[in-house]
Amino acid sequence: MKKIFFVLLFLIFHSNDLPCSVPSGKFLNFSDIHFDPFLDSALIYKLDNSAWTEWENIFESSSATAYSTYGQDCNYPLLKSSLLEMKSRIPKPDFIIITGDFMSHNFNENYFHFIKTDDTLRLNGFIEKTMRFIASFITKQFSDVPIFSSVGNDDAYCGNYMVEPDGDFLKMLADTWEPWINKAGINGNFKSGFSKGGYCMLNFPGKEDFKMIILNTVFFSYKYENRCGDLSADPGLDELNWLKHTLDSCRQNNFRVYLSYHIPPGADIYGTIHKKADCQNKYFNTWKENYNNMFIDITEQYSDEIISAFAGHFHRDDYRVFINERRLPVSYLLVTPSISPVYDNNPSYKIFSYDTSRFNIINFDSYYLPVNDVSVFSEWRFQYDFKSAYRLNDISPESIMKIFGLINSDTTFRNNYIRFYIASNERDFAEDLWDWKYNYCGISFLKKDNYTNCLCNDRLK
């Protein structure tokens, strides 16, 4: 009897370590490549005068083999290393989610500077070659894998935060991405839908009751300008109305969905930290306030249909949790770190495990490359897995809410959160830890007044 008692105790205390009967699969998630074809200036004229199909050979001929480091966008050696690394860890993921920003910062300005021209048609041709090269290079490693991609604010002909609805860039992008999205011919309407606004709902192979909704949250940004299109149009409102209608249809048909987009709602943490103002006026938003609040309301209203959401943009590993009027967590967003180290983060990506029957997220492993550590310059490292790092059983609105509480109450968890946030760039750890409260408030308080009340609350530790 005593032996049975101790066996039962073991099972109770170690239940999280036991094999799970839930059928599971794995998918890959990365973001913000910000590929910069200008970093090796010796190649620029060759690239400009060659078809994109020749670009890989041109890059391979370069004598510049070092990875991009802090303050730089992603060069070819880092892009190649990233994809080979992902391929070695997960040769055939069930699918891939890429949450935007394929092009480098100041892309148009750099092109005009190096090529010595103001010819926008020539620039657009170079942008198209860049986007097709990146897509081809990713497909080379993951040829049979469905890939779900979002538009970032740097992805456009017209300029940063200026993607034109129903314009030539979205039509080109729809044509470029169609082969990896329309696997098995199940998303035949992708090109016609996506090219209008950069958003659409997609089918998933073998799962009639699961959908992937790709959004274009660039339209929601307070920085967005439709400079190359109809200035009287309101593409942000059009998209939100479409989203509400689409989620309502999903509810009626018992569909469950993932959302994938680039710019998250809520506070821009970096911008808020560096804004010169008193506490009550420090808030720096990512979206226009009316779009932000409308999106949050939609997310809460259709939280039963939304399994999980993924975004990028901040180049940081972070979380958002959506809270209903009773302060209960109902939905969550996972913010994906970047491949580009331009904002002093290490390149990073994630491999998720999920329930293949219901698509609930089970866990993820995070990997990173210490680009400033020359002793292990080519070695990617395992960073953490979510469940072990935070001692949680799953990834859910409730578990993200627990992280929110742990950051405030437990210095060990707070330190770990900040270290993961910057993908283990120890150089910036102390500064980011000093500003932890900005991050803490940003996880749970997604509307301006709520965030400000949290930030200015002196009772927080």
Determine phi and psi for 322, rounding to 5 degrees: -95, 130
- Distance, CA of 140 to chain centre: 21
Q: Does the residue 460 lie in any domain? A: no
- For the chain, report the end-to-end CA distance as a whole number of angstroms: 48
Residue 448 tokens, joined: 């301006």
Domain count, the chain: 1
Contact 288, 220 (CB under 8 A): yes
Residue 378 has what pLDDT? 65
Alpha-carbon distance of 181 to 196, in angstroms, equals 16
Residue 206 has what pLDDT? 83
Q: Does the residue 9 lie in any domain? A: no
- Distance, CA of 61 to chain centre: 31
The residue among 203, 218, 183 whose CA lies nearest residue 258 is 203
Q: Does the residue 241 lie in any domain? A: yes
Domain CATH number, residue 337: 3.60.21.10
Task: List helix spans (H) across 116-189.
Answer: 120-141, 168-181
Mean pLDDT for back-to-back runs of 10 residues, the chain (461 residues): 42 43 90 97 96 98 93 97 97 97 97 95 98 97 95 97 97 96 90 96 92 98 94 95 98 98 97 94 96 97 97 97 92 97 96 95 97 70 96 95 94 95 92 94 95 84 55
The residue among 444, 255, 214, 211 whose CA lies nearest residue 331 is 444
Q: Does the residue 17 lie in any domain? A: no
Task: List helix spans (H) across 370-446.
Answer: 386-390, 397-409, 411-421, 429-434, 436-444
Alpha-carbon distance of 37 to 170, in angstroms, equals 21
DSSP 3-state of 9? helix
Q: Does the residue 19 lie in any domain? A: no
Residue 17 has what pLDDT? 43
The secondary element (H helix, E strand) that includes residue 111 is helix 107-115
Q: Does the residue 8 lie in any domain? A: no
Crossing angle for the helix pair 190-197 and 168-181, to the nearest 10 degrees: 140
Residue 325 has what pLDDT? 85
Alpha-carbon distance of 253 to 208, in angstroms, equals 10
The residue among 170, 183, 272 whose CA lies nearest residue 228 is 170
DSSP 3-state of 63? coil
Determine phi and psi for 325, rounding to 5 degrees: -65, -15
Q: Does the residue 290 lie in any domain? A: yes
Residue 80 has what pLDDT? 97
Q: Does the residue 39 lie in any domain? A: yes
Residue 161 has what pLDDT? 97
- The model carries a pTM of 0.93
Alpha-carbon distance of 107 to 118, in angstroms, equals 13
> What residue numbers bound the domain in which 297 lies?
26-455
Contact 426, 383 (CB under 8 A): no
Torsion sign across C-alpha atoms 142, 143, 144, 145 = positive
